[in-house]
Structure 1
Amino acid sequence: MQRELLEKQLREQKIELVRAIYMGPDGITRGKAFRPGELDAILESGIGLTQAQMSVTVFDHLPSLSKYQPVGEVRIRPDVDTFQVLPYLPGHARMLADVETLQGDPWELCPRSLLKDFLSRLAARGLQIQTAFENEFTLSDQTETGWEPVDQLNCFSSAAMDLASPFILPLIDALEQQGIKVEKYYPEAGPGQQEIPIRHQAGLLAADQQVVFKETVRGVALAHGYRVSFMPKISPAFAGNGCHIHFSLWDENRNLFYDPAGEFNLSGTARHFMGGILKHLPALMALTAPTTNSYRRFVERCWSSSYTCWGPDNREASVRAASGYQGQEAATVNLEYRPCDPTCNPYLALSALICAGLDGIENELDPGDPVLTDPALLSAEERRALNMNAYPTDLETALSALEQNPVLLSGLGENRITDYLTMKRAEISMIDSLGDEGERQAYEFRF
C-alpha cells in the first residue's frame, strides 16, 4: 500500500491506534500499538522487542533452558501492505509484522519469515501453493452460570443458524471489509460450534488471512457480547474444533495436483506430496496440533482422524483427497490436511507441510493405497497390512518425533526447533501441574 494512501485512510477513518501484530511460535497473536503520528518512524525502524518474547509459553513463562533470555533485542517490523482498519473496533487499525534483527534482516525465530523462505523455495521450482485454513470454533454467550455455548442443537441446524445470526452476519461483513471472501457458513456438530470456510489465497496471504480471521472472529464476538474459543477439545462430550488445511500446488496457471487420467483425478505430484506428509506425520503434528489439549480431539469415529492414511473424500483420513466441483475439476481438486487445529501457528504449520511435501516430491514417496472406509472399522491386522499407524497420543510423543526428524530439523532450522521443543515442554509441565480443569482455563479463550 502506498504511504500516501495509508496516511489518507488514517485521517479519514480517525484512527487513534495502529497495532503491529505478530504470531509467536506459541500460537498467540501479540503485538504493540502506536499512534498514527509515529507511522514514519515505525516503518523505518520497527518497534523494539526482547528476543526472549519469542520463546515464552502461552503462560508468558520463559523457560530457563531457552537460549533466548532477556538480553538482546529484535524489531517488530510492520508490513505496510497488510494495513487494515478494524471494522469492529472504531479508532483502531492493524498491520501484520515480521520480526527482524537490529540490522533489518529476518530473525531466525520469526515464523512469518520462515514461510517466506519456503515460498521462495517453491518459486525457484516455478511453483506456488494455494491454501485455505478451515476453522471451527465455539461461540458462547453469558448466562447466570457463566459462558455457555449459544446452542445445543444439531449439526447444520437451521435453528442454530437463527441463534448465531446476531454474531454471524456482522462477522461476515467485517471479514469481507478486510478482503476475506466468505464462501459458506454453517453450525457444526458441537454445542455452539461454528464453521466459516473462506476463499483460498496464495502462499503468505493464506497464512496472514488465518491470523486476520481469528483476530476478527474474536473481535466481533467481544463487540457483540459473545466470546469465542478455538480450543481443540473443550469437553469430552463435545465435537472438537479443527482447522483443516486445504492446499494445492500450481505453476503459472495450472493446478499440478490435478490429472484427469489419474486415480481420483490426482497427479503423481499430488501423490508424492501426500507421501511426504504421511511419512513425516507424527513430527508434523507437533506443529499442527501443538497443545496438550489437541490430542484429546483425535478420537475414533469423531470425524477428526486418528490413523495415518489417505483417502478420497475420507474425513477420517489424515489427508483427504477432496474431489473437485463438476466442470471445474482442474481448478478445484485439492488435498486437505486434517490433524490440525486453530491453536497452531499458520506460518509454522504451512512451512512444515511444504517441507514434508517437497521431501515427498524429491524422493517420489508413495502414500500407499487409499483407504475407502473409516479406519476404525478395520481390524488391527488390516491396519497393520496397510501400514496405518495410530496418531501420537500426546504432545510429548509428537515433540519427540519432531526432535528425531532430520528432514524437518534441517528444513525448519535446528535453533528454531530446539527452542520450540524447550518452550512446548515447559508448557506441558505447567499444564500437568494444573490438571484437566487447569488445561481448560489455560486454553479456552487464550488463542
Structure 2
Amino acid sequence: MKTSADIQRMCEEFQIQMIDFKMTDIDGRWRHITIPRERFDDDIFRYGVGFDGSNYGYAPIEKSDMVFIPDPDSAAVDPFAGVPTLTMCGNVCTIGEKENIPFDQYPKNVSLRALEYMKETGIADRMVIGPEFEFYVLDKVRYQISPEFSGYQVDTRQAEWNCSLSVPGNNGYEVTYKGGYHASAPQDVGYDLRSRMCLAMEDWGIKVKYHHHEVGGPGQMEIEVELGDMAEMADNTMIIKYIIKNMAAAEGKTATFMPKPIYKEAGNGLHVHMLLFKDGKPVFYDENGYSGLSREAHYFIGGLLKHIASLCAFTNPSTNSFKRLVPGYEAPVTIGYATSNRSAVIRIPAYAKAPETKRFELRNPDATANPYYAYAAILMAGLDGIRNKIDPEANGWGPYDFNLYHLSAEEQKKIKGLPRSLGEALDALLADHDYLTAGGVFPERLIEIWLEKKRAELKEIEQIPSPAEFKYYYDL
C-alpha cells in the first residue's frame, strides 16, 4: 500500500502542482474536488476532505456533511489536466462525534461490504470479473427537449447514411448497417484513437486484452480488459469511461456508452465475465460438470437467473437500457444460460477451459449502471443462489444450446423474458431485494432512494412526446 511519502515522491517525479479527488455520485458519474499540492498532507488520509453529499443524490440536507478519504493506491497522473495533476479515487464517510463512519450508501462502500459478506459466508474469498466496454464514437451529437421542440441528431462520417451524392462522407468507405464487426481501415476510422485509448489505460495501470470495431456501423467500438478483482475493477470501470470520453473529446469527437443511441443499430452492452476463488483455488471449475462448471457455479448462475428481473434495476437502470434488450441485435431477451450462445442472458465461453479462467458472462448489463452497485448486486444474487442451492436446470432455465431467436412463437412463450421496461425492473426490485440487503450490503434506505429516483426519471421521460408518436398519431 502506498504511503503519504510515496505520494510526495510521485509529486516530485511528475512535478505535480494540484491534487484531485474523484468521487462517485449515486448515478455513477464522477465528481471531483481539487486542492493545491501545498495543501496536501498526511491529515487528508485521516480526516479527509469535507463536502456536501446532498448534491450527490444520497443524504437529506440535515445529514449532508460528509468527508472523502482518498485511497493512496489509486494515485495516478491525470493525463487530461493541463496543469500537472495527481488524481485519486477513494471512499466517503459520514462525520461522527469521535471518528468518521463509512457511509453505507456510498457505491464503493457497498461493493466492499459485498466482498466482506462473501468472505463471511465461507463460499469464496475473491471475486474476479472482466467487463467488456462497448461504446460509440461519433463526430457530433445534438439534442433538445422543450415544449415547442424535441429531438436529437447524431452523425459520424463512416456511417452508411453519409454515402450519398449530396453529402461529403468517408470517400466511399462507409460501414454498412450492422456491418462493423472487426471492420478494418480505412472503414475503421477510429482505429488509431482506440489504440491511444488503450495505451492511456495501460499508463494508468489497467491491463488491456484487445480492442476492435464492433457490429454497429456508425462507429461502435469495443475495448476488453484483462480479468481483475471486483473492487479494483469497479474503480477501473470509472477510469476507463473517463479515458474514453476525454480522449474522444480531445479529438473533437464524442463517445457514448448509452445502450441504444442509434435506432436499428447494435446497442452498447457491458458484458461481465465472473469467477470466484477460495484459498487461491477456482470455485467455478469442475472438469466433469456441464461445460466444465462446478455445482457452485451452477448455483451462482441459478441465483442470477432467479433475481435477474430485480437485478436489472441496477445493471440496466435507464429507460434506454430496454431499447437495447430486444431481439435481433445479439442482446439477450430471455432468462436462460448456455455455452457459446449469445442469445442467452448467461453465456459460458467455450474458449475458457483452464481451471483458473473457467467462468461465464452476464450479458444484459450496460454502462448506464453505477458499476459499484451493479457488480455488488451481481455478486449478491450469485451468493444467494449458492446459499440456497438454486439449480438453473431444475428451474427450467436451460442449458439452451441453440439460438433462442430461432424458436417458434409458441416455444418462445414458454421461456421467461427479461423485463421489457425500466418500470418492470423497478417493480421487481421492490418485490425482490432481500438478497441485496442480506448482511447489510445494500441498505434498505438506498433501495428506497434508488426506487424513488428512478421512478421520478421514468415518470418525466414518459411524459415527453417522441418524434415517433408524431409519425404514428399526429394525423388521427
Query: Which of 304, 322, 337 matches 2:362?
Result: 337
Q: How does 1:229-378 map to 2 (within 5 A)?
A: 229-325=256-352, 329-368=354-393, 369-378=398-407
Native 8 Å contact 2:316 2:364 kept in 1: yes
Query: Which of 145, 155, 165 matches 1:148?
Result: 155
The C-alpha deviation readout for 1:82-103, integer Å capped at 9, x for no partner, is 1111234342332112111113
Q: How does 1:157-196 map to 2 (within 5 A)?
A: 157-159=183-185, 162-190=188-216, 191-196=218-223
- Provide the C-alpha distance between the structure 2 equivalents of 1:377 and 1:102, rounded to a whole number of angstroms: 57
Query: Which of 387, 391, 416 matches 1:389?
Result: 416
Question: RMSD across aligned C-alpha pairs, in angstroms?
Answer: 2.2
SS of residue in 2 equivalent to 1:292:
coil
Query: 1:339 Cα deviation (Å)?
Result: 0.8
Larger radius of gyration: 2
Deviates more, 1:31-40 or 1:167-176: 31-40
Counterparts in 2 of 1:434 and 1:94: CA distance versus 1, 3 Å: farther
Native 8 Å contact 1:403 1:409 kept in 2: no
Query: 1:389 Cα deviation (Å)?
Result: 1.2
Query: 1:115 Cα deviation (Å)?
Result: 0.8
Please tell me whether residue 83 in structure 1 is matched to residue 75 in structure 2: yes
Native 8 Å contact 1:161 1:187 kept in 2: no
- Provide the C-alpha distance between the structure 1 equivalents of 2:402 and 2:409, rounded to a whole number of angstroms: 14
Alignment TM-score, normalising by the size of structure 1: 0.89
Query: 1:413 Cα deviation (Å)?
Result: 2.0
Please tell me whether residue 414 in structure 1 is matched to residue 444 in structure 2: yes
Aligned partner letter, 1:141: D
In the alignment, what sits opposite 2:91? 98
Counterparts in 2 of 1:42 and 1:151: CA distance versus 1, 3 Å: farther
Query: Which of 126, 129, 146 matches 2:127?
Result: 129
In the alignment, what sits opposite 1:198? 225
Gaps of 5+ in 1: 57-66, 439-447
- Provide the C-alpha distance between the structure 1 equivalents of 2:428 and 2:154, rounded to a whole number of angstroms: 37
Higher helix share: 1
SS of residue in 2 equivalent to 1:163:
coil
Please tell me whether residue 400 in structure 1 is matched to residue 401 in structure 2: no
In the alignment, what sits opposite 1:445? none
- Provide the C-alpha distance between the structure 1 equivalents of 2:227 and 2:269, rounded to a whole number of angstroms: 17
- Provide the C-alpha distance between the structure 2 equivalents of 1:121 and 1:205, rounded to a whole number of angstroms: 17
SS of residue in 2 equivalent to 1:49:
strand
Aligned partner letter, 1:100: C
Query: 1:70 Cα deviation (Å)?
Result: 6.0
Query: 1:384 Cα deviation (Å)?
Result: 5.0
Native 8 Å contact 1:51 1:70 kept in 2: no
Counterparts in 2 of 1:425 and 1:185: CA distance versus 1, 3 Å: same
Q: How does 1:53-92 map to 2 (within 5 A)?
A: 53-55=55-57, 68-69=60-61, 71-90=63-82, 91-92=84-85
Paired residues, number:
424
Counterparts in 2 of 1:148 and 1:348: CA distance versus 1, 3 Å: same
Counterparts in 2 of 1:299 and 1:14: CA distance versus 1, 3 Å: same
Native 8 Å contact 1:84 1:93 kept in 2: yes
The C-alpha deviation readout for 1:400-443, integer Å capped at 9, x for no partner, is 100111424523221110011111112222323444479xxxxx
SS of residue in 2 equivalent to 1:323:
coil
- Provide the C-alpha distance between the structure 2 equivalents of 1:380 and 1:148, rounded to a whole number of angstroms: 37
Counterparts in 2 of 1:76 and 1:146: CA distance versus 1, 3 Å: same
Query: 1:136 Cα deviation (Å)?
Result: 0.2
In the alignment, what sits opposite 2:471? none
- Provide the C-alpha distance between the structure 2 equivalents of 1:197 and 1:392, rounded to a whole number of angstroms: 27
Aligned partner letter, 1:281: I
In the alignment, what sits opposite 1:6? 7
Counterparts in 2 of 1:365 and 1:160: CA distance versus 1, 3 Å: farther
Gaps of 5+ in 2: 143-151, 160-174, 469-476
Native 8 Å contact 1:232 1:293 kept in 2: yes
Query: Which of 433, 455, 469 matches 1:425?
Result: 455
In the alignment, what sits opposite 1:63? none
SS of residue in 1 equivalent to 2:267:
coil
Query: 1:378 Cα deviation (Å)?
Result: 1.8
Query: 1:390 Cα deviation (Å)?
Result: 1.6
Query: 1:380 Cα deviation (Å)?
Result: 4.5
- Provide the C-alpha distance between the structure 2 equivalents of 1:35 and 1:21, rounded to a whole number of angstroms: 15
- Provide the C-alpha distance between the structure 2 equivalents of 1:185 and 1:4, rounded to a whole number of angstroms: 37
In the alignment, what sits opposite 1:441? none
Native 8 Å contact 1:89 1:219 kept in 2: no
Deviates more, 1:29-38 or 1:267-276: 29-38
Counterparts in 2 of 1:43 and 1:143: CA distance versus 1, 3 Å: closer
The higher relative CO (CA closer than 8 Å, separation ≥ 6) is in: 1
